[in-house]
Structure 1
Amino acid sequence: MKMLIIYTHPNHRSLSYAFLQEVIRGSKENTSIQEVKVLDLYEEGFDPVLVFNENKRRRDMHTDPDLAVYRDQLMWADKIVFVYPIWWGRPPAMLMGYIDQLFASGFAYKDTGGLLPEGLLKGKSVVCISSMKGPALYPLLWLYNAHKTLMRKALFHYVGIKKVKFFEFGSMESPRGRHKQKLNRIYRYFKTVNG
């Protein structure tokens, strides 16, 4: 299994970065994972801003040469792991800008003329690891599960990825947030995952 980790947090002293390290540590001990690549969107200097004009058209995003390396990474990966905080009930704007540009028509999906498109990223799996200041049940009870619905249904299912797992950790700024247990849970998952 080939795994691409997309890390989205501007601070390498953050809890998100600690989760990234546990993903990598567990993966190195897993014989089912042959290779791991990490895309750190902030360190990469990824530009999340969409630009459409007479030279750049939305319908041509799937062939934009500036995004070719990122498309190749997504095609290469069997498993895509997203590590990010939840800010204002959703992933950071940097990650949403990546999604807006990479999960484009002609690459991630193809319009069929029907209600739903044909997903072109079938056979891949996704893991989302996110943390937030609020309690774990806040997104479910107050936001009607908006984060998971956005990621699972509006994005991944739309492009053909049906196998989606979430680790959504709450109360992460509290001293009672049980950070060590949650970090260990991520390590153990990636040490043993096989698909």
Structure 2
Amino acid sequence: MKVLIIYTHPNHQSLSYAFLQEVIRGSTENTAIEDVRVLDLYEEGFNPVLVFNDNKRRRDMHRDPDFARYREQLLWADKIVFVYPIWWGRPPAMLMGYIDQMFASGFAYKDTGKMLPEGLLKGKSAICISVMKGPTNYPLLWLNNAHKVLMRKALLNYVGIKKVKFFEFGMMESPKGKHKEKLNKIYRYFQTVAH
């Protein structure tokens, strides 16, 4: 199994970065995982701004040469792991800008004339690991699970990725947030996960 980790946080001293390290540590100890690659969007200097003009058209995004390497990473991976904080009830704008540009028609899905398109990333699985200041149940009780609906239904299921797992960790700015326990949970999960 090949794992692509898409990490989205500007600070390498953050708790999100600590979760990234546990994903890597567990994955490297898992005999089912043959290779792990990390895409750090901030360190990479990824430009999340969509540009459409006479030279860049939306219908051509799936073959934009500026994104060829990122498309190859997504095609290479069996499992895509997203590690990010939840800000204002959703992933950071940097990650959303990556999604806007990478999960393009002609690459991630194909319109068929039916209500839903054909997902072109079938057979892959995804894991979303997110941390937030508020309580763990905040997105469910206050936002009608908007974060999970966005990531699972509006994005991943739409492009054919049906197997999606979430780890949403709340109270992460509190000393009572059980950080070590949650970090260990991620480490143990990736140490044993299969496709």
CA RMSD of aligned residues (A): 0.2
- Are residue 3 (structure 1) and residue 12 (structure 2) matched? no
The match for 1:68 is 68
- Are residue 157 (structure 1) and residue 160 (structure 2) matched? no
> Using the alignment, how far apart are the partners of 2:56 and 2:89 within structure 1?
31
Question: Normalized against structure 1, the TM-score is what?
Answer: 1.00
The one-letter amino acid paired with 2:9 is H
The match for 2:82 is 82
Q: Offset of 1:166 from its aligned partner? A: 0.2
The match for 1:174 is 174
The match for 1:15 is 15
The match for 1:56 is 56
Q: Offset of 1:80 from its aligned partner? A: 0.3
SS at match of 2:126: strand
Q: Percent identity?
A: 83
- Are residue 141 (structure 1) and residue 136 (structure 2) matched? no
List 4+ stretches of structure 1 deviating above 2 A. none
Unaligned runs of 5+ in 2: none
- Are residue 46 (structure 1) and residue 35 (structure 2) matched? no
> Using the alignment, how far apart are the partners of 1:176 and 1:147 within structure 2?
24
The match for 1:115 is 115
> Using the alignment, how far apart are the partners of 1:113 and 1:92 within structure 2?
32
SS at match of 2:53: coil
> Using the alignment, how far apart are the partners of 2:131 and 2:110 within structure 1?
32
Count of matched residue positions in the alignment of Structure 1 and Structure 2 = 195
The match for 1:103 is 103
